[in-house]
Amino acid sequence: MFLSNWILSTPVFVVGVVLLLIFFVQLEWFPPGGYEPWNSTYVVLPGIALGSRVWARIYQFALSLTEIELKSPYIKVLRARGYSKNRILWNHILLKILPLLVVLILLDFSSLLSGAMIVEEIFFFPGIGKSMYYAIQTMDAELLSALLFYSGLTFYIFSRVSIRFQESLTGKENLF
């Protein structure tokens, strides 16, 4: 819980610098940045820096949903019937909270673009954030418009997919 709280309260660039200090400077496991085609080691640290906030939110959300479900009456009945904790967790609780987690993942996936520019600058990684920064510096209106359209479209698609997924689970149509 401490690690997820720390990740959620820390800016993306600090997480990136900490990852560089640990995995490049101290352990020398990964390269400091850049990009080399067909070499996945260059993608690991930027991916962790970008995805850590999403996974910390998912972890905390799943933990709180699991705690709520563990207090519900049907869990007491299952325990009285002699079901093991693992069976209750995997066969009952996880199946009940999984749809909510999928909706959260879909909504958070579109927010990954917000930290992309900073992470790409820290790790010298070419991507959409670096392209957007270049378009702003060179006042390239067409490229900037295309990138903003792509970002907005991505956010819209993931929002609509999550709404449709939620509607299919609940059977109720969302008015938004």
From CA 120, how far away is CA 16, in angstroms rounded? Answer: 10
pLDDT of amino acid 145: 92
Q: What is the average pLDDT score of the chain? A: 84
CATH 1.10.3720.10 fits 2-170, yes or no: yes
From CA 132, how far away is CA 143, in angstroms rounded? Answer: 8
Position 174 confidence tier, pLDDT thresholds 50, 70, 90? low
Q: Give exposure, 130-163, as e/b (b: 16+ Cβ within 10 Å).
A: bbbbebeeeeeeeebeebeeebeeebeebeebbb
Task: Determine if the pTM surpasses 0.85.
Answer: no
pLDDT of amino acid 155: 82
From CA 113, how far away is CA 106, in angstroms rounded? Answer: 13
Q: In 71-93, which ranges are continuous DSSP H helix?
A: 73-80, 85-88
Average pLDDT over residues 128-143: 87
Find where tokens 């401490």 sit: 2
